């Protein structure tokens, strides 16, 4: 009995250690993922804030060593992707709500669920450790960006720093693979009677497609990392042209993982936004089946467009034409989702509650990122702005403002269900507006910097680029203030303890959403039949 849920057989509350370190309960593990994601995000956010402070003026302000600046760039990217967005959206909300949405008593493999989580702090330890050990003669840490291209990551970093990065990423990758197996098994085999695939909530659809993407893409990254490791440690030549290898092959392997990774981060957010738009428009989602299969289409097409990240490697012009065309095709299912959200709101009884504000901002900002993505899909234009701040602006509109806004939308939407408490609406609203204004001030000017030709990953720049860098740095300050307000409203909610009702979204919402008692009870699953 205790093994199935991690709680005692007679409904006794577990000890602190057993609940938070040995728990197999999907809700507690989801909470651990969210706490871990917030902590990782604070570290990654600090790194990006220091980078923006450095770039506020030409010359050297805070980084005397360019290697250290590039190490911050590298660690920021890896932390935000592997340790903030993925654990929070998939591990956090996925664990918390997928079993509840499909009527399952828990995840299919509760102990593997616990193991998946505890691999992540181990991975984070090795990644952070890499910042404090020698990278190359220029300084400590790995400074080869999150893309880790050889030969900079092989012969260019002779110290042990990158070895620790590889170990950390492999551990994080295995964590995600185990989690993906768990979600696929749970969703396909443990739905309640009558819960067919075509009745499943869209968030569960998003997590299912994401799990398949993880299962297909991450082993390719793991293989590439193992080959990098052997190139570095035992003298193989997979990516060494002098030994008959091909450094461009690493880019193919990396981006075969890297492009589906974008959709791994955004698909759960699509599901969250669908729920919020439906709830606060008081209407069922428009075109439910189209929405579900648009996510499936995005997952499938996302695997055949990877080399649009590689237009500058010297590929054949016909190959460029293929990747250009295939990339534009992804705009179709994405457009279906955007128009379905707009159609859901059309004629609805809309309430602009805080989750709805985050969801509407998500739609607006994701569209901006998508439009610049269509621009970058053109091989000729991409060659002109490749590795400039235009690309940085594009993918941050998709991720910093797509995935992260989806994350905050879900957090404010489900906060009462997860904690049993209501947040202070004024503080949470202040957080939203500071964040919305801040991130737009950070990243919109970077489009202009990119069009002017400012390259990314440079610690210094000519004075001609000063104005928009100053605006961008001012936006970073506003954003960090928003993050501080976020922490304040979360802590305030737990101090004041305003009780959330069973349906705190408002009258009428219960016809559109599944509900569960709030606050959640520790051992509600002890009343359910055991799965042998």
- pLDDT value at position 64? 87
Greater model confidence, 140 or 529 = 140
Q: How would residue 514 be classed by pLDDT, with cut points 50, 70 and 90? A: very low
Q: Which of 52, 191, 309, 417 is catalytic?
A: 309
Residue 529 has pLDDT above 60, yes or no: no
Check 274, 344, 400, 419 and give the catalytic one: 274
- What are the tens digits of pLDDT across the range 453-482? 999 999 999 999 999 999 999 999 999 999
444 has pLDDT over 80: yes
Give yes or no: 155 in active site.
Answer: no
* CA distance readout (Å), 274 to 178, 197, 287, 340: 27, 17, 11, 9
**pLDDT given at position 523:** 38
CA dist 441 and 382 (Å) reads: 24
Collapsed DSSP state (helix, strand, coil) of residue 448:
helix
Average pLDDT, the chain: 91
- For residue 387, indicate whether it is catalytic: no
Would you state the pLDDT for residue 5?
A: 44
Active site residue 456: yes
Tell me whether residue 163 is one of the annotated catalytic residues: no
User: Helix, strand, coil shares of the chain as percentages rounded to 5?
Assistant: 70, 0, 25
CB 344 within 8 A of CB 363: no
Overall average pLDDT of the 401-424 stretch: 95
Closest CA to 88 of 191, 207, 4, 216: 207
Q: 143-171: buried (b, 16+ CB within 10 Å) or exposed (e) per residue?
A: bbbbebbbbbbbebbebebbbbbbbbbbb
Q: How far apart are CA 24 and CA 18, in angstroms?
A: 9
pLDDT score of 1 more than 60: no
Catalytic pick among 28, 163, 261, 382: 261
457 given a catalytic annotation: no
| 281 pLDDT above the threshold of 70 | yes
pLDDT beyond 50 at 487: yes
Instruction: Give dist(CA 223, CA 170) in Å, integer.
Output: 10
Known active-site residue 261: yes
Does the annotation count 57 as an active-site position?
no
How much of the chain exceeds pLDDT 90, in percent? Answer: 87
pTM, two decimal places: 0.92
15 is an active site residue: no
Q: Which of 74, 175, 281, 419 is catalytic?
A: 175
Catalytic residue among 52, 232, 308, 394: 308
- Dump pLDDT digits (tens) for 355-396: 999 999 999 999 999 999 999 999 999 999 999 999 999 999
- Pairing, β 139-140 against β 421-422: unpaired
If pLDDT is split at 50, 70 and 90, which confidence band does 11 have?
low
pLDDT of residue 509: 54
259 is catalytic: yes
433 catalytic? Reply is no
What confidence category does residue 511 fall into, taking pLDDT thresholds of 50, 70 and 90?
very low
Q: Which of 26, 52, 67, 76 is catalytic?
A: 76
Q: Which of 7, 146, 341, 468 is catalytic?
A: 146
Catalytic site residue 198?
no
Mean pLDDT of 400-416: 95
| pLDDT value at residue 463 | 95
* Residue 186 annotated among the catalytic residues of the structure: no
Per-residue pLDDT, 17: 85
Of these residues, 7, 33, 255, 263, which one is catalytic? 263
Is residue 89 within 8 Å of 35, Cβ to Cβ?
Answer: no
CA dihedral (389, 395, 401, 407) in degrees, to 10, reads -140
Of the residues 5, 88, 327, 334, which is catalytic? 334
pLDDT on residue 496: 95
pLDDT at 15: 85
Q: Is the pLDDT of residue 71 over 80?
A: yes
Q: Are 80 and 394 in contact (CB under 8 A)?
A: no
Contacts with 142 (C-beta within 8 Å, 6 or more apart), sequence order = 71, 74, 75, 130, 135, 148, 153, 157, 161, 162, 165
* Over residues 128-139, mean pLDDT: 94
In the residue annotation, 67 being an active-site residue is answered as no
In this model, does residue 4 exceed pLDDT 70? no
Q: Tell me, what's the pLDDT at 427?
A: 96
Please confirm, yes or no, whether 263 is among the known catalytic residues.
yes
Q: Of 157, 337, 386, 447, which residue is the catalytic one? A: 337
pLDDT recorded at residue 256: 97
């Amino acid at each position: 009995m205790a093994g199935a849920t991690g709680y005692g057989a007679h409904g006794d509350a577990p000890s602190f250690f057993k609940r938070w370190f040995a728990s197999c309960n999907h809700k507690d593990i989801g909470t651990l993922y969210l706490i871990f994601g917030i902590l990782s995000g604070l570290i990654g956010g600090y790194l990006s804030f220091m980078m923006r402070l450095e770039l506020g003026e030409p010359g050297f302000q805070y980084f005397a060593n360019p290697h250290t600046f590039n190490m911050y760039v590298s660690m920021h990217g890896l932390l935000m992707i592997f340790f903030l967005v993925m654990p929070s959206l998939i591990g956090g909300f996925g664990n918390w709500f997928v079993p509840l949405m499909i009527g399952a008593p828990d995840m299919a493999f509760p102990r593997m669920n616990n193991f998946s989580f505890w691999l992540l702090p181990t991975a984070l330890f090795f990644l952070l450790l890499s910042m404090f050990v020698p990278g190359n003669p220029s300084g400590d840490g790995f400074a080869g960006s999150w893309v880790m291209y050889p030969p900079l990551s092989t012969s260019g970093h002779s110290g042990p720093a990158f070895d620790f990065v590889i170990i950390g990423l492999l551990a994080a990758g295995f964590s995600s693979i185990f989690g993906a197996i768990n979600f696929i098994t749970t969703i396909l085999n443990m739905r309640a009677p009558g819960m067919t695939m075509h009745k499943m909530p869209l968030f569960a659809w998003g997590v299912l497609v994401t799990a398949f993407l993880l299962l297909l893409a991450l082993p390719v990254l793991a293989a590439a990392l193992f080959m990098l490791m052997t190139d570095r440690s035992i003298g193989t030549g997979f990516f060494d042209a002098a030994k008959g290898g091909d450094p461009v092959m690493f880019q193919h392997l990396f981006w075969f993982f890297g492009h589906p990774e974008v959709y791994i981060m955004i698909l759960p957010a699509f599901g969250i936004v669908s729920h919020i738009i439906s709830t606060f428009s008081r209407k069922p989602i428009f075109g439910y089946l189209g929405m579900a299969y648009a996510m499936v289409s995005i997952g499938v097409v996302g695997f055949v467009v990877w080399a649009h990240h590689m237009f500058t490697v010297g590929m054949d012009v016909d190959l460029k034409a293929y990747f250009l065309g295939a990339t534009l095709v992804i705009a179709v299912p994405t457009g279906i989702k955007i128009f379905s959200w707009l159609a859901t709101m059309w004629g609805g009884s809309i309430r602009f509650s805080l989750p709805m504000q985050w969801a509407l901002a998500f739609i607006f900002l994701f569209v901006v990122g998508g439009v610049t993505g269509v621009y970058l899909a053109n091989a000729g234009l991409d060659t002109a702005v490749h590795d400039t701040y235009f690309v940085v602006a594009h993918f941050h509109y998709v991720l910093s403002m797509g995935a992260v806004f989806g994350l905050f939308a879900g957090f404010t939407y489900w906060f009462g269900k997860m904690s049993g408490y209501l947040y202070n609406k004024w503080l949470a609203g202040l957080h939203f507006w500071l964040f919305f204004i801040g991130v737009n001030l950070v990243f919109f000017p970077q489009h202009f910097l990119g069009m002017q030709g400012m390259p990314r990953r440079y610690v210094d720049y000519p004075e001609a680029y000063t104005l928009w860098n100053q605006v961008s740095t001012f936006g970073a300050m506003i954003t960090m203030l928003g993050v501080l307000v976020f922490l304040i409203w979360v802590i305030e909610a737990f101090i004041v303890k305003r009780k959330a009702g069973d349906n705190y979204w408002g009258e009428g919402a219960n016809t559109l959403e599944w509900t569960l008692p709030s606050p959640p009870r520790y051992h509600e699953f002890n009343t359910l039949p055991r799965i042998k």
